[in-house]
Homo-oligomer: A and B are copies of this chain.
Amino acid sequence: MDQIPLYRRLAAHYREAIETGAMAYGDRFPSMRSLMARHQVSLSTALQLCHHLESDGWLEARPRSGNFVRQPRRQTVRPLAEPVPGQAPDPARYVGINARVSEFIARGRQSPVKVNFSSARSAPALYPGEALKNSAARMLRRHPELLVSPPHNNGDPAFRSVLAKRAMANGMLLTPEDILVTHGCIEALNLALRATTQPGEIVAVESPTFFGLLQVLETLGLRALEIPTSPQTGISIEALELAIQTTDKIKALVVVPHLQNPLGSIMPDSHKARLVALCALHDIALIEDDSYSALSNDGTPLKALKAWDRGGNVIHCASLHKTLAPGLRLGWLTGGRWQSRIEMLKYVHSRNNEELAQLAAADFMASSAYDRHLRRLRACLKTQRAQTAEAIATYFPDGTRLTEPDGGLALWIELPHGLSSRTLFDAALAEGIFIAPGLMFSNSNRFEGFIRLNCGAPYSAEIDAALKRLGQICKVLQS
């Protein structure tokens, strides 16, 4: 806890008091003087505390009367609707998701971007840059021939051993040999799909889903079957059952059980158990993408789908980019009964990962500094998401909908009826604001009315102004 500033810990305490009703809306908040006395803190800490609660939406400063507890505006925003399980679309041969995604990405790259809400990542300052740099330098000194020696097969033993140890917290009993190190989760997903499917076959995915996955499916010649997915509990198992009964053979299913991208949903354990059993029963390879699970608000380790796997039917894929460092390009997988085929595919496609990044990550992750870093990151992200949600509640037109996720990097927002995210994308980009339109998250146009906003950067006046501007553009487009 020692890396989380005092005022933040106090803020968490008061937020809880308000949420549980111990402090009621409209109550007067303790004065600076009494905060200082009650918590034995300096005036500056007390000021930071109030400022923080205010920007999060829990306090309202009334001139000359002091601070009052208020309901955050975002709590008045209607949550997202639950999906209707009945409507699984036909498995479509992808004919353009790459073109569509590429278009949006390319336009963002070509335009002068002032505020980037588009990528799912945190600001470099939220990651332990200095410590990792020191780990890397130390590893170079300790292994002087590192860069001129061939890397270890399937990944560095020390790194795989740290990963295996940490996976225990998520309910997975793995040996280092069960782990294959990859170039990010994206390579892990590619390998898992290549090992379990042939071109032309059907892969079930969440809807909406991470656009990178749709791109993978298209480039591998696979047909995606989009399964309705709840913003609260993840993929609809009823909808999946229906799809199994009514469509051609589903060869694999890719799901993000924790902090799904873009929804932020977290699957309840009861769903996980059902899903693992259902896939085993129907011989559907279950590919789990667990890139985000360390970013849940309360930090209690979430149990991986893999924890329920008995027959080796679950391939667990993960990444360090969101949690540790975007610049290391490290991911990993454990491939169940496809492990040796996946190892072969990895070797044939890109050989073994270079050692340095793995050793630096292993060095850092083996220490308690990693846990401290994660606690701090989770706290920052929680605040940043709350601040962003508060701004949306304040600036966006009525009818905007939003479910606040219990962790993660982003918010998934439904625009008021009739507003197209493509139009908003165009208008925003013209002013240097880069957003991810809902159209990128499905092969259909079902999410044209949605956008995903990244909350990975510390909230700033610039971000606030950009969100305000987005809200104004929405209102102009509406009228």
Q: Which residues of A contact B (CB under 8 A)?
A: 98, 102, 109, 119, 121, 124, 127-130, 132-133, 136-137, 140-141, 144-151, 153, 183-184, 186-187, 190, 194, 198-199, 212, 215-216, 219, 221, 325-329, 344-345, 347-357, 360
Asked if A147 contacts B327 (CB within 8 A), the reply is yes
* Bound-state Cα–Cα, A198 to B220, Å: 10
CB-CB < 8 A to A348: which residues of B?
98, 186, 190, 212, 215-216, 219
* Bound-state Cα–Cα, A351 to B182, Å: 11
* Bound-state Cα–Cα, A356 to B109, Å: 23
Asked if B140 contacts A124 (CB within 8 A), the reply is no
Choose from B109, B128, B148, B354 the contact partner of A153 (Cβ within 8 Å).
Answer: B109
Inter-chain pairs besides A136-B147, A150-B327, A190-B349, 20 sampled, C-beta below 8 Å:
A121-B150, A124-B145, A127-B148, A128-B148, A129-B147, A130-B144, A133-B146, A136-B140, A137-B137, A149-B327, A186-B351, A187-B350, A199-B221, A215-B348, A216-B348, A219-B344, A219-B345, A329-B350, A329-B352, A350-B350
**Nearest CB in chain B to that of A216: its residue:** B348
Q: A124-B145, A133-B146, A144-B129 are in contact. Are A187 and B349 (CB under 8 A)?
A: yes
9 A-B residue contacts at CB 8 Å?
A102-B344, A133-B144, A136-B147, A194-B219, A199-B199, A216-B348, A219-B349, A327-B356, A350-B350
Asked if B355 contacts A327 (CB within 8 A), the reply is yes
A197 CB to nearest chain B CB (Å): 12
CB-CB < 8 A to A127: which residues of B?
147-148
CB-CB < 8 A to A344: which residues of B?
98, 102, 215, 219
* Bound-state Cα–Cα, A351 to B212, Å: 10
CB-CB < 8 A to A349: which residues of B?
186-187, 190, 216, 219, 349
* Bound-state Cα–Cα, A194 to B221, Å: 11
- What copy number does this chain have within its complex? 2
A293 CB to nearest chain B CB (Å): 20
Asked if A329 contacts B151 (CB within 8 A), the reply is yes
A460 CB to nearest chain B CB (Å): 18
Q: A140-B133, A153-B109, A194-B219 are in contact. Are A183 and B351 (CB under 8 A)?
A: yes
* Bound-state Cα–Cα, A133 to B148, Å: 9
Taking chain A's interface residues, is the majority helix, strand, or loop, or is none over half, making it mixed?
Answer: helix
CB-CB < 8 A to A146: which residues of B?
129, 133, 327
* Bound-state Cα–Cα, A150 to B221, Å: 28
- In the A-B complex, list the 9 residue pairs whose CB atoms are closest, starting with the nearest: A127-B148, A129-B148, A329-B354, A183-B350, A147-B327, A124-B148, A215-B348, A132-B147, A187-B350
**Nearest CB in chain B to that of A221: its residue:** B199
Asked if B119 contacts A145 (CB within 8 A), the reply is no
CB-CB < 8 A to A326: which residues of B?
148-151
* Bound-state Cα–Cα, A156 to B360, Å: 21
CB-CB < 8 A to A148: which residues of B?
124, 127-129, 132, 325-327
* Bound-state Cα–Cα, A245 to B367, Å: 64
CB-CB < 8 A to A145: which residues of B?
124, 129, 327
CB-CB < 8 A to A121: which residues of B?
150
**Nearest CB in chain B to that of A212: its residue:** B348
CB-CB < 8 A to A150: which residues of B?
119, 121, 326-327
* Bound-state Cα–Cα, A140 to B216, Å: 33
CB-CB < 8 A to A129: which residues of B?
144-148
CB-CB < 8 A to A355: which residues of B?
327
* Bound-state Cα–Cα, A198 to B345, Å: 18
CB-CB < 8 A to A352: which residues of B?
329
